[in-house]
Amino acid sequence: MSEGRLIVVSNRIPTEAAPSGGLVVALHDALKERGGVWIGNSGKRVDAEETAKGLTRIAETPYERYSFDLTEEEHQGFYLGYANATLWPLFHHRTDLLAVDPDQARIYREVNERVAGLIAEVVQPGDAIWVHDYHFLPLAEALRRRGVRNRIGFFLHIPFPNPSDLPALSERKLMPGWLSAFDLIGLQTRRDVSNALDFLRDSGAEILLNGRLKMGDRRFEVASFPIGIDVDGFIQAAEENADAGEHLRLSPGERLVLGVDRLDYSKGLPQRFAAFGEYLSHRPDPQIRATLLQIAPPSREDVEAYREIRQELETITGRVNGEMAELDWTPIRYIRRNIGREILAGLYRRADACLVTPLADGMNLVAKEFVAAQDGADPGVLILSHFAGAAEQMEAALMVNPYDPGETARAIEQALSMPLHERQARHLSLMQSIREADIGWWTRTYLAALQKPLASPGN
């Protein structure tokens, strides 16, 4: 089969001429090497008549980039509503926060239908289509109805929901058709694959001898492709910004514990703050000073659950600092805005420990970025939740149950008192794991699997 172009579809599309960020750069390089098209939401809100204009070409690159716009109603129903108030909590095992709204579900499907129509206008025979994330679960099915027979792959960057949670989704009976319309469903972890296979089997899918699945006349595959980072790029950024920690004005001997997360209920931030407070209360020497620097830029602040977690974090921060602070020491520094990638790399390098303690996460690249940024001669220690997708690859981290503040507090103490030889050995193991499966490996491996020919009907 001749290799055609690559068509990437994502919710948002980078508009700058030279994209930055690991995933964006990897997709940029794949498109540049193979030729193709990147299609995504511009972020603009327009009148309904303007959406009829179709795709808009943006920045000139070695491949084509096109954006589409949303109306305010579509933004509310498709993005804020169904994608982030229904699918996001469901996929992160928070069915208690799931919003059930038939109008939002309808708008979600309508946007996918419209995007499918736009893709159908540009796709050519031999092209491979790579769809990213939960915003576009019905997209392949909509394309198949339009007669598109190209290879269509899907990658889910967040966890796949537990089969026991899926009955909470009103559209659960549509999900098997959405998934089986893809040729390859890429998930982050083996745990995600197990959940997806359980759900699909319960929905009537047949597991074939060659490892593929059959549902109706569709044959497709579900596999794990843990996403990585640009290791060398992050090492360089950390080395070039090694003085970033000086801006913190830490006192001599003061230890730095770092957290970097979007402000989201899946990240376990209240539990993390409580655990750090418990560490401070029980540290063996009260004269030891450790500061938790938590960087948590906001996301989706117009969703009620996010306003609530913001208030909860501010309350815990005030309580811990009120009880523990000294005139020249603030135990928790909480920054609720974006910090540039280069400065972050330098802060990773300065940190004595990094807390990556989500309650549910697809992968969590902060864990990998922290490891890459370390000075191998004197590395910091990664404290990692069992529920982060990265836990399957990064077994040399200190693993914790984020729901248990005492366990996390003890891990902080262990990290800050760990002897150099143990820190070096753990770091060496972690570096090997992130190098073996970096972002280039992820892109190549997924696209190679997507290009495999379909199994014959008799298999």
CA separation for the pair 348, 370 (Å, rounded): 5
CA separation for the pair 341, 61 (Å, rounded): 23
Q: Which of 127, 165, 361, 438 is catalytic?
A: 361
CA separation for the pair 338, 94 (Å, rounded): 26
Hunting for tokens 């909860």 — which residue is that?
312
CA separation for the pair 313, 277 (Å, rounded): 12
Tokens of 386: 């069992």
Residue 25's alpha-carbon distances to 10, 19, 233, in angstroms, are 14, 6, 11
Q: Which of 157, 230, 261, 427 is catalytic?
A: 157
Active site residue 361: yes
What is the DSSP secondary structure assignment for residue 126, as one 8-state letter?
T
Q: Using the CB atoms, write b or e for 88-112: b if 16+ within 10 Å.
A: bbbbbbbbebbbeeeebbebbbbbb
- Pick the closest to residue 83 from 73, 98, 96, 70 (CA basis): 98
Residue 378's alpha-carbon distances to 167, 247, 351, 425, 428, in angstroms, are 49, 20, 11, 11, 11
Q: Are 384 and 367 in contact (CB under 8 A)?
A: yes
Amino acid at 134: Y
Residues pairing with 128 in the sheet = 6, 151
Q: DSSP per residue over 399-446, as a string?
A: EE-TT-HHHHHHHHHHHHH--HHHHHHHHHHHHHHHHHT-HHHHHHHH
Which residues contact residue 319 at a Cβ distance below 8 angstroms, ignoring those fewer than 6 apart?
Answer: 277
Active site residue 157: yes
Q: Are 104 and 81 in contact (CB under 8 A)?
A: yes
SS3 (DSSP) at 159? coil
Phi, psi of 429 (to 5 degrees): -65, -45
CA separation for the pair 445, 294 (Å, rounded): 34
- Pick the closest to residue 368 from 23, 25, 91 (CA basis): 23
Phi, psi of 116 (to 5 degrees): -60, -40
Active-site positions read 157, 361
